[in-house]
Amino acid sequence: MICLLTFHFACTYFYTAPDTFNSVKMEIISARYINPFFHQYWALFAPNLPDYNVVIEVSEKEGVWRNISHEILENHYSYRITEKGRLALAFTGIARWATWECAVGRVNEKDPEKYQHILKDLCRGYLRMNPTDDLRIRLTKYDLYSAKEGEFIF
Amino acid sequence: MKNPIKILAHFNRPFTEERNVLFLRYGVLFFCVVNAIHNVILLEYCWGEYKMSPTLSIGKFSSNFVNLLNEGGTAFAILLIIIQLLCLTGAIFLKYKRILTFIAYIATANLVNSTYLMNSGGHHVILLVLFFLSLINEEHTLDNSWPNAINKAAMIAIKIQVCMIYFISFLYKIIGEIWLDGSALWQALMLDEYTLPIFKEWFTSNNYILVFSTYFVLAYQILFPILIWVKKVRKWVLLFGVGLHLFIAFGLGLFTFGIAMIVAYFAFYVPVNKIAFKRIRSFID
pLDDT, tens digit (0-9, with 9 covering 90-100), for A63-97? 788 899 999 999 899 888 888 889 998 999 889 88
Distance separating the N- and C-terminal Cα atoms of chain B: 44
Contact A13 B188 (CB under 8 A): no
pLDDT tier for residue B3 given thresholds of 50, 70 and 90: low
Contact B171 A86 (CB under 8 A): no
For A38-70, write each residue's pLDDT tens digit: 999 998 888 889 988 999 998 877 778 889 999
Contact (CB, 8 A) for B67 and B47: no
Query: What distance in Å separates residue B8's CA from the closest CA in chain A?
Result: 8
Task: List b or e across A11-36, with b for residues whose CB sees 16 or more CB atoms inside 10 angstroms.
Answer: bbbbbbbbeeebeeeebeebeeebeb
Phi, psi (rounded to 5 degrees) for A151: -100, 125
Q: To 5 degrees, how large is the angle CA A100–CA A106–CA A121?
A: 75
Chain A to chain B, count of Cβ pairs less than 8 Å apart?
173
d(Cα B72, Cα B45) in Å, to the nearest integer? Answer: 10
Q: Hey, which residues does A141 pair with through a beta bridge? A: A54, A151
Report pLDDT for B131: 96
Query: What distance in Å separates residue B275's CA from the closest CA in chain A?
Result: 31
Phi, psi (rounded to 5 degrees) for B242: -60, -45
- The whole-angstrom distance between residue B216's C-alpha and the CA centroid of its chain comes to 22
Contact A48 B177 (CB under 8 A): yes
Cβ contacts of A25 within 8 Å, gap of 6 or more: none
**Residues of chain A neighbouring B53 (CB-CB closer than 8 A):** 90
Contact B50 A126 (CB under 8 A): yes
Burial class of residue A153 in the structure, from the number of CB atoms within 10 Å of its CB (0-12 exposed, 13-18 middle, 19+ buried): buried
Report pLDDT for B4: 66
Contact (CB, 8 A) for B129 and B161: yes
Nearest to A83 among B41, B60, B65 (CB): B41
For B128-177, write each residue's pLDDT tens digit: 999 999 999 988 877 878 889 999 999 999 999 999 999 999 999 999 99
Nearest to A118 among B54, B164, B184 (CB): B54
- Using the predicted structure, report yes or no on whether residue B233 has a pLDDT greater than 60: yes
DSSP for A89-141, please give it. Answer: HHHHHHHHHHHHHHHTT---SS-TTHHHHHHHHHHHHHTT--TTS--EEEEEE
- Containing B74, the helix (H) or strand (E) segment is helix B74-93
Contact B118 A4 (CB under 8 A): no
Nearest by Cα to B138 from B158, B164, B161 = B158
- Which region holds residue B232: left if phi is over 0, alpha if psi is between -120 and 50, else beta? alpha
Testing the interface with A: which of B39, B191, B248 to mutate, by most A Cβ within 10 A?
Answer: B191
Query: What distance in Å separates residue A86's CA from the closest CA in chain B?
Result: 5
Testing the interface with B: which of A9, A12, A22, A42 to mutate, by most B Cβ within 10 A?
Answer: A42
Q: List C-alpha distances in Å: B223 to A13, A124, B34, B156, B227.
A: 18, 46, 31, 18, 6
Report pLDDT for A116: 85
Contact B188 A45 (CB under 8 A): yes
Contact A85 B178 (CB under 8 A): no
Nearest by Cα to A99 from A60, A51, A131, A67 = A51
For B8-48, write each residue's pLDDT tens digit: 777 888 888 888 999 999 999 999 999 999 999 999 889 98
Contact B160 A20 (CB under 8 A): no
Testing the interface with A: which of B8, B31, B37, B50 to mutate, by most A Cβ within 10 A?
Answer: B50
DSSP 3-state of B233: helix
Residue of chain B with shortest Cα separation from A129 = B50
**Residues of chain B neighbouring A39 (CB-CB closer than 8 A):** 124
